[in-house]
A and B are shown apart, each in its own frame.
Chain A
Amino acid sequence: MGYVAVKGGTVAVENAEKLAKYFRLKGRSPVLKVEQIRDQLRFMVDRAMSEGSIYAPDLAAIAVKQAEGDPMEAAFILRAYRSTQPRDFYSLVGDTRQMRVIRRISATFKDVPGGQILGPTRDYTVRLLNYELAQETEEAARCFVDEFLSDILADEFQEPPIFPKIVDLLREQGLLKASPGLEMTKPDADITRDGLTFPATRAARLQVLARGETGGMVTLAYTTMRGYGNIHPTLGELRVGYLPLKIKHPAGHGELVVGEVLVTEAEVVSQSFVSEAGKGEGKPTFTIGYGLCFGQNEEKAIAMAILERAIDTREPQAPAQDEEFVLSHVDGIEAAGFTAHWKLPHYVTFQSELDRIRKSRTVKENGK
C-alpha cells in the first residue's frame, strides 16, 4: 500500500469512467438518439428540467442519456450546466391565464367554465403491462400518428376555449383573499443568488419547492394526507400547458415574448380561519396552496401545492408543516449528493471515533 496510489488514483478514476461507458454500450443495442429520449421519454426529460431548474428539453434529453436514465443524476448534470449560464434578464410575471392549455381539470366542481379537459393522461388507463410495446415498429408508429392527425377533420377546428381560473371564481364570491397584482417586477428573494434564510418569504419557499425532487416532495406531502398535519385539500385546478415567457424589451419600450415553456400548475384549496386584525374570532375562508413546475409533472405540482400550504403555519404540529424541515431537505441535488458522499473515504474521522470508543472503554474498565 503506498502513495504509488497517487498515480493509481488517476488511473482508477479513468478506468471507472470507461467501465461505466462500457456498461451502457455493451448490450450492442442500437444507440439511443437524443431525439428519441426527448420525444418518447418525455416524463423523464420533464422531471430532469424541473429538478435541474432549467428549461431546455434537448439538453435535458442529453442529460438523461448521459445519466443512463437516473433522474437525480440527470437533474444534477443540468444544475451544473445552469451554473455556467449568465443571468441576462428577469422575466415579467407570467400569467397562467394566458397558458396554451393542453390539460385542465378541477376536482372542486363537477363542471367548470371552459370544461374539464382530460388532455394527454394515462390516469384512467388500466395498468396492465403492455407487451405490444416490445413489438412496436417504425411503420406502425408513423401510421398511428398520420391516422390520428387525419381523424381530426380540419373543419372541426375551434378556437381553444378560454379557461378562467377556478380560484378567480372563488375570489369573486369572496371566498378567497384577493390576489396581489401582477405589477411586481422582481421577486423579494432569489435563492439561487442569496441563499435560503429562515423564516423564508413566500417567494423563497416557492422557488425551493419548484426545483425540489419529486419523490421527496410526494413523500412529505403524503404524510400530511395521512394525519401528520391537518391539511384537507381539494384540487381546485390542475393545468398543463405552454406559458408564454415575456421580458421587458431591452431597448426600453413594451414587452417581448421570448418563447414559451411547458408547465404544470396546481392550485389546492383548503379551509382556514383567518382572524381579522384585533378580533379574536375568525372568518372561515379558503386558502390556496400553489404548485408550479417545468414540464408535465402533476404529482410534483400537487405535492408542491400541498406542502406550500402545510408550511404556512407558525405552529407546526408535524414534520411536513415545519418550514425549515421541508425546505432544507427537498433539494434532490443536495440530498442525493450528501447521501452519496458517505461513499467517500472517511477513515481519518473513523480513526478518531475508534480512539474515543477505545478510550471510553478503558476509562469505564479502570473506573477512571
Chain B
Amino acid sequence: MAVETTLAATKGNLLNFAFVDENTKREIRRKLLKAVAIPGYQVPFASRELPIARGWGTGGLQITMAIIGPDDILKVIDQGCDGVVNAVNLRNLLVKTTGVATTYRTEEATIIQTRHRIPEKALRNDQILVLQVPYPEPLRRVEPSEQVTRQMHGENDYSLAWLDLYERVVRWGEITIGSQYPVLVNGRYIMSPSPIPRWDLPKLNMAETLFLFGAGREKRIYALPPYTSVKPLEFEDYRFRVEDFSGKCCHRCGSTKSYLDETYNAAGGERFYTCSDSDFCDERLRNGKGKGSADA
C-alpha cells in the first residue's frame, strides 16, 4: 500500500488547544483538585507522552496544558532564566498550540512554568506557579520501593527520613542536602519541593500563590495551596540553612539578595556571579540599580 494512502487516512496532524486531548485534561484536572485538597500528597496520574522527552518537563507541561487558557500570560523559565534552551522549547510548544501571550516579566505572568527555581519577586494570588519535578518522592533517598514509601506516607511513618538527616549530621557535621530539601507540609506530609535551592524554600511557606507540581515520568501530581505551612526538616541544634552568598554580588546588577549563579568567563576563565533570576536582574537594571549602586 502506498504511504500516501496511509497519510491521507490520518488526516495530517491536527492538534487540540494546548496539545493534549480533553479527556487527558479532565484526568489532570480531577487529580489537581485532589492534590490541592491533600496538600503535599502525591496523586498518581496517567501522564501522557508528549513531543518533549521524559525528564525534560512533561509533568509540568501537562499541568500547564490542562489549566492554560487564551487569556493567560505565560512565562517559562529554567534555572531562573527565560532564555535557557529547554525553556525556549517548552514555551514554543505551548504558544504554538494555544496562541497565548508570553512575557519575560514575572509580574505580568498569570502562569509561570519553572524548572529548579522560584522567582525572587513574591508571587501574587492571581498567579499560579507550575514546577517541573524529576523526583516527586522525598523518601526515595532512603527507600527505593514505591510500595514501601507509599505506605510510609499513609501511616505517617517518617522515621527513616529523620534518620537520614541525623546520619548526615553525624558524618559531616551538617545536613548535607543541597537542593530538593525535604519539607513537612501542613504538619502531615513530607514533600519534595522539586530541585529548587534551599534559598527558595521560605517562599513556599504561607504564600499567597498556588503551587502545582508535576512529575511526568514518575506520573505524580501534587500541590501546595496558599497559606499552607511548609517547614524544612531540621533539628533544634542543626537548623535548616539557605545557601551562603556572603561577600558575593551579581556582577550585572549588584544584587546581594538573590540566588547567584557561579560562572566562569568563557574567554578569560575568571570566576564571577550573576543573578539566577533573569527577570529580577533585568528589573533592577530597568529601575536604575546596578553595580556600584548604593541600594544593592
Contact = CB atoms under 8 A, between A and B. Distances in A.
B is a partner of A: yes
Interface stretch (A134-142, A148-156, A161-169, A360-368): A360-368
Interface size class of B (residues with CB under 8 A): 35 or more
Interface in B39-80: 44-51, 53-56, 78-80
Contact of A56 (B6, B13, B117, B219): B6
Contacts, number: 182
Interface string B1-22: 1110011001001011001110
Contacts of A83: 20, 24, 48-50
Contacts of A347: 79, 261-262
Interface stretch (B122-130, B158-166, B175-183, B228-236): B175-183
Interface size class of A (residues with CB under 8 A): 35 or more
The listed residue with most A CB atoms (<10 A of its CB), out of B54, B134, B147, is B54
B263 interface: yes
The listed residue with most A CB atoms (<10 A of its CB), out of B15, B83, B116, is B83
B132 to A, nearest CB: 10
Given A56-B6, A334-B217, A349-B178, A192 B46 contact: yes
Interface string A95-107: 0000000000000
B147 A348 contact: no
Give the dominant DSSP class at B's interface.
Answer: loop
A84 B145 contact: no
B178 A9 contact: no
A275 B29 CA distance: 46
B104 A348 contact: no
A344 B116 CA distance: 11
Contact of A59 (B10, B47, B196, B265): B10
A198 interface: yes
Interface stretch (B85-93, B184-192, B203-211, B287-295): B85-93
Contacts of A341: 53-56, 134
B261 A348 contact: yes
B295 to A, nearest CB: 21
A3 B83 contact: yes
A267 to B, nearest CB: 29
27 contacts: A5-B81, A9-B85, A9-B88, A13-B85, A76-B53, A83-B48, A84-B21, A198-B145, A324-B146, A334-B55, A334-B217, A338-B134, A340-B53, A341-B53, A344-B86, A345-B86, A346-B116, A346-B195, A348-B117, A349-B178, A351-B197, A351-B276, A355-B244, A359-B244, A360-B172, A360-B176, A364-B172
Given A10-B83, A193-B27, 10 more contacts: A58-B6, A76-B49, A79-B49, A80-B49, A191-B46, A345-B84, A348-B79, A354-B178, A359-B241, A360-B176
Interface of A: 1-3, 5-10, 12-13, 34-35, 38, 56, 58-59, 61-62, 76-77, 79-84, 86, 191-199, 324, 328, 333-334, 336-341, 344-349, 351-357, 359-360, 363-364, 368
